[in-house]
Structure 1
Amino acid sequence: MTNIPQTEVAQEKIRPVPITIALIIGAFIGLFSETALNMALTNIMAEFQILPHVAQWLTTGYLLVLGILVPVTGFLLQWFTTRQLFIASLCFSIIGAIIGGLAPSFEILMISRIVQAMGTAILLPLMTNVILLIFPPSKRGTVMGTMGLVIMVAPAVGPTLSGLLVDSWGWQSIFWIFTPVLILSLIFGMIFIQNVSTITKPKIDILSILLSSIGFGGVVYGFSSAGKGTGSWLDPIVFIPILIGLIALLIFSIRQLKLDQPMLDLKVFKFPMFSLGVIMVFLGMMIILSSAILLPLYLKGGLLLTALAAGFVLLPGGIINGLMSPITGRLFDKFGPKFLIIPGFALTTTFTFLFTNVTTETSQIAIIIMHTILFIGVAMVMMPSQTNGLNQLPKSNYPDGSAIMNTLSQIAGAIGTAIAIGFLSAGQASYLDAATNPNDPLVIAEALTAGTQNAFFFAFIASIIGLIVSLFVKRVKVSH
């Protein structure tokens, strides 16, 4: 629950520009880290002799930590000062980067990702709350638009920049290149970051935190375990964690409805457009992050491109997705959500289906076009779905609605990534089992391509569900 504490700090004493710069630099690197390692997964798999379903935990684990910690940071914002949280978040990010750069094994590399994610999980809610506190309402739109652009562009340029680094200096350079930037950002923030919130120290419900962690963790772990390619959802390592996670989430939900000060106020789901918005954002994040992990693997393993070349193939779609954010905002204000979300899901449905037919002969130009239009569709879905849903909530429920959407977005990305890799692994294994010479490099490339086709079928199904749900969206009239 990202409540915005009231502050008595005189606005004329606050220096909003340097504060915002320090926060945005840290957030950019944190969000860059979400997708940066995707381009290096094949290199990491080769170095540590691991399979795709294991390597994908570098992304899934990162997103899972975000999903678990983002709602918890709502309490941290009311227990610790702005400076304390900023310094802690940057220190986590720096320590995680150093551990990653030195990692001698996959297990240590995984630990570095968890530590990095802890830093990002603190910084993202902190940035949103600080911006809402230090800028007047007349300027918030511009600042939040800039923040939104950073949030969208950071994961977009991740594959391209990391591709350049991987080809030139190895995957470890992804961690080392940003360590000095993070250190400078920390020093800059220690000079300019001011305490702009009042510490209220509300009661922390440990049981709610424990239940949400077990719930989200169990569900994502179960889905990720299905990524071993066995194709069996009845394997105990798959269904038992999912079952435990669902039971924990059910108990968590019941508890939130009974508490006077819930960790997350689930009563917001009584608003139908908010509920539909959550579903569509959830599906949109699944499409975005499953594509973000599948396409680098396909481009490098199926089309045999270098990391840098693969990064440039994905760059146009990512940049246009970021630039579409302010455009869809203006169109939303003028035409409402229906005229954006329905065509958006129509585009994602069409182009996820086209991705189920890629081959080892598909041209790079075709991939660029398909990826770009797919992400235009995603841009038409995400912001309008979120904004229209939050618009239906009373002002007092904005923090809870935002926290729920942010939390479920990260969980959607983690589950979507895990399921996509599961489909990829199953398709790849099936192709190799039927091959006469499974060790032939050409056959290996064709097998990975077959797995990619298989995995995009999951994204296609998610998109169809989103298209059906979007038909029920109505424009919300804001009365407050």
Structure 2
Amino acid sequence: MKNEKISMKVIGAIVATGIMSFCGVLGETAMNVAFPTFIQEFQISTALVQWLTTIYLLVLSIVVPISGFLKHRFKNKILFVASVLLFTAGVIIASWSHSFELLLLGRAVQGIGTGIALPLMFNIIMEQTPVSKLGMMMGVGTMIPAIAPAIGPIFGGIVITQWGWRYIFILLIPVLLIAFVLGLSTIEQKSETRNETLDLLGLFMIAIMFTGLIFGFSNVGSQSFISLQVGGAFFLSFLGMLGLIIASKRTESPLLRLELLKEHKFLIHVLSFFIIQLVLMGLVFILPNYIQIVNGESPQISGFVVFPGAALGALMTPVGGKLLDKFGPKKPILIGSIILLISLLVYWMLVPNLSNILVGVLYFIFTLGISLSFGNLMTNGLHQLRETMQPDGNAIIMTFQQVAGAMGTAIVASIISLYQNSGEYDFVAGTINGSQIGLVFLIALTLIELLLVLSVFRNAKS
């Protein structure tokens, strides 16, 4: 297996499916830059505008658990074609929307398309890549969508400044066409399909659980905790979780095999992966808003500020995977987690006086930590499971990732909105104070993540 080469068709299939995830994240991060524009055009609040990101990630979190069922039931190429067509439909809806509600619908449809393509990419990697090169290829798979946050802000800034926000979506169409042609010519079927029944009750419970969870967090900044919008939403989420557990025990083919979380090391990896994704999306929300509102820069400048660091950090992701292949998971994951914590601490200490240069440099350091820890947590987490259970483990990790992203955006947006609308500060001062508290929240989570990975590697050999 060590001497086996990765075929060009496998690489092409990974790139084609990865482009779908890339387009989803590109639209997401480009719109983060456009949030102030949306707030003015649609006359909405900061807490409401973040639903453009949240709805996309929420739909992803509902669709991704179906990936195991889809993999067994349909051929890879059919799934790929469906994902491209759905995402393209969402792009068309969003680009032609003249109301905030229609724009949300477009993002939701895009989420369905990406929700099919993202697990498909990692399933192809796990199924068709030699074990000796799995870490590197998982890094490549992680890198493709990870490049989008680097390009997204600058892409969004230029497009909004020159042509308007609608072209964020229109310009994705040629990229989708390239992915479509590449996927049709490279995606192969290595496993047999079989008839399998979709666990509709489990899917319904997942939708209830995640909808309540994300809706509750999105209203924390504007509603009382005991209100229906917050406390009621969390209670609904709790009921959905109980229903999912009960439904999973009553079927032989549950959407999410939650019993895998009983494997302690796998659980720790999932939780660590979850936290890092939450922290990443929280910071991605803070930075462009800080640059535009506090530093008074245009959307285009805010994109240029974070681009160099984000691009270099994303390109380092396969290197992080190669380090895992060579040295094992302990060193890259721990070093990456420490780098994340340090960069966030420096951000927090400098918030009142953060220049654009400091924002860019610190973001590079932060994404360097992401490149060492993020993909490697997923790879090593799946290694804690039997090979036959790894696709089910992948569905769990992908689901947690999407929920974490939605939560990160929702929580941080709620915190900043709370201070912006408190009446104690003007809008700029509220953004500064909200960003500081948001960073404290992200620092606390990163410290917890570091303690988790230290516990799992304490007695492990590198």
Whether the TM-score (by the shorter chain) exceeds 0.5 is yes
| 2:201/2:247 contact within 8 Å kept | no
The one of 298, 303, 320 aligned to 1:306: 298
User: Counterpart in 1 of 2:43?
Assistant: 49
The Cα offsets for residues 335-357 of structure 1, whole Å up to 9 and x where unpaired, read as 44443434433332333233334
User: Counterpart in 2 of 1:122?
Assistant: 116
The Cα offsets for residues 249-282 of structure 1, whole Å up to 9 and x where unpaired, read as 1221233244322222222222211111111111
User: Counterpart in 2 of 1:83?
Assistant: 77
- Describe the shift of the 1:358–1:449 C-alpha distance in structure 2 as closer, same or farther (beyond 3 A): farther
| 1:336/1:475 contact within 8 Å kept | no
Letter of the aligned partner of 1:434 in structure 2?
Answer: E
Letter of the aligned partner of 1:84 in structure 2?
Answer: I
| 1:360/1:446 contact within 8 Å kept | no
1:61 equivalent to 2:51? Answer no
The one of 194, 205, 209 aligned to 1:211: 205
CA distance in 2, matches of 1:45, 1:322: 30
The one of 281, 288, 311 aligned to 1:289: 281
- Describe the shift of the 1:144–1:220 C-alpha distance in structure 2 as closer, same or farther (beyond 3 A): same
Deviation at 1:226, TM superposition (A): 1.3
User: Counterpart in 1 of 2:100?
Assistant: 106
Deviation at 1:306, TM superposition (A): 1.4
CA distance in 2, matches of 1:421, 1:310: 18
CA distance in 2, matches of 1:305, 1:14: 44
Unaligned runs of 5+ in 2: 1-6
1:459 equivalent to 2:442? Answer yes
| 1:338/1:475 contact within 8 Å kept | no
Deviation at 1:108, TM superposition (A): 0.5
1:366 equivalent to 2:349? Answer no
CA distance in 2, matches of 1:411, 1:247: 17
Unaligned runs of 5+ in 1: 1-12, 436-442
The one of 152, 159, 162 aligned to 2:156: 162
Matches within 5 A, 1:125-164: 125-134=119-128, 143-164=137-158
Deviation larger for 262-271 or 327-336 = 327-336
TM-score, normalised with respect to structure 1: 0.88
| 1:25/1:185 contact within 8 Å kept | yes
User: Counterpart in 2 of 1:171?
Assistant: 165
User: Counterpart in 2 of 1:222?
Assistant: 216
Q: Percent identity?
A: 33
Letter of the aligned partner of 1:406 in structure 2?
Answer: M
User: Counterpart in 2 of 1:384?
Assistant: 376
Letter of the aligned partner of 1:444 in structure 2?
Answer: F
Give the total of aligned pairs: 457
TM-score, normalised with respect to structure 2: 0.91
User: Counterpart in 2 of 1:260?
Assistant: 252
The two structures, once aligned, show a CA RMSD in angstroms of 2.7
Deviation larger for 257-266 or 31-40 = 257-266
CA distance in 2, matches of 1:72, 1:117: 13
1:273 equivalent to 2:265? Answer yes
| 1:94/1:183 contact within 8 Å kept | no
Letter of the aligned partner of 1:127 in structure 2?
Answer: M
Letter of the aligned partner of 2:217 in structure 1?
Answer: F
- Describe the shift of the 1:369–1:19 C-alpha distance in structure 2 as closer, same or farther (beyond 3 A): closer
| 1:429/1:447 contact within 8 Å kept | yes
Letter of the aligned partner of 1:302 in structure 2?
Answer: V
Deviation larger for 366-375 or 102-111 = 366-375
User: Counterpart in 1 of 2:4?
Assistant: none
